[in-house]
Amino acid sequence: MASTTSDSSAGAARWRAAQLGLTTLLLRDLRGFRRLISPGRLQATVPSWVEAVAELVGRYSEVSATLAADFYDGEREAAEVPGTFTVPLADPPPEEQVDASLQWATKDAWDRDAEAATAVQLEPLDVRLDAAFVKADMATQKLVADVGRETVRQAVRQDRQAVAYARVAALGACFFCKLMASRGSVYATAETAGRDANDRFSGDASVVKFHNNCHCGILPVFRGQRFELSPHAAEWDRIYREYAQGHPGDQLRLFRRALAEHDQNPLPGSN
C-alpha cells in the first residue's frame, strides 16, 4: 500500500521550525553588525559591513543546507524507499549575488542631489538607514533560506527514488505562496523523473520562486508515495478555482481578493 505525504507533514513542520530558528539567530547576528556603519562615513564603512554580512551569509548557508539534508533524509526514510542516497548540499550564494542584494537594500541610504532624489531618498539619514537595515534583514533571510530549499530541489533531481516536489506554505503566507502551494506535487514528470532525473526532470519552476522574508519550504515526494493537499491548501485551491480560474491575466489579482474575503487565514497586511 502506498504511503501518503502532505504539505502539512510532521517532517515539513519540523524543518520549518528549524529554519525559523536559524533565521532568528541569523537576524540577531546581522543586527549586531549595524554598528559597523558610521552614518557620517558611509563610503568608508558600508564596504566593511557588506564584507561582514557576506561572511555571515556563507556560514549560515552551510547550516541551512545541512538542516535541509537532514529533513530530506527523514522524509526518504519515512517513505521507505529502497537504496541509499547522499544528499548533495547546495553551495552558498555567490559573492556577486550577496553583493547585489545588499546594494539593493542600501541604495536609498546614499545622499543625492535634491533634484534627482526620490521622496524616500530625501528622508533624514537615520530613517534611510533604518529602512536599509530592514531590507537587508529580508534579503539576507532569503539568501540563506534559498540554500536549504535548493538542497532539497537538487536532491529530488538526482535521487532516482524521488518523483516530485511540492511547495509548503504557512497559514499566513502571501497570496502567491498560497497559490503555488495549492497546486500540489505537479512539478515533475513522474514517467521520467527517477530514471534519468538529472537530464529529464521537468516541471513548473514557480515552486522554487521565493520572495524576501519567505518561509515556504519544498517537500519531496518519492516513488510509491501519494501526495495529498493539506486541508488549508485544499481550501486555497477551492478558492482559486471558484474565484480566479478562467480569467487569463487576472488570476493573481482575483485570487488575492478572494483570499482576503474568504480565507480563514488572513493575508499579511490585510488586518
Contact 235, 36 (CB under 8 A): no
Q: Residue 240 and residue 237: Cα distance in Å, rounded?
A: 5
How does pLDDT run across 139-196, given as a tens digit for each residue? Answer: 999 999 999 999 999 999 899 999 988 999 988 899 999 988 998 886 554 343 344 3
H or E element that contains 138: helix 125-158
DSSP state of 112: -
Q: How confident is the model at residue 209 (pLDDT cuts 50, 70, 90)?
A: confident
- Grid coordinates representing 91 are 553551495
Among 12-26, 28-42, 114-128, whose mean pLDDT is lowest? 114-128
The torsion angle over the Cα atoms of residues 263, 170, 240 and 185, rounded to 10 degrees, is: -150
How high is the mean pLDDT of the chain? Answer: 88
Q: What is the pLDDT of residue 187?
A: 55
Q: How confident is the model at residue 236 (pLDDT cuts 50, 70, 90)?
A: very high
How does pLDDT run across 54-64, given as a tens digit for each residue? Answer: 999 999 999 99
pTM metric for this prediction:
0.88
Q: Residue 263 and residue 156: Cα distance in Å, rounded?
A: 31
Q: Residue 17 and residue 92: Cα distance in Å, rounded?
A: 21
Angstrom CA distances, 252 to 70, 86, 178, 213, 255, stand at 34, 38, 11, 20, 5
How does pLDDT run across 144-160, given as a tens digit for each residue? Answer: 999 999 999 999 989 99
As a whole number, mean pLDDT of residues 214-232 equals 93
Would you give the distance in Å from CA 71 to the centre of its chain? 15
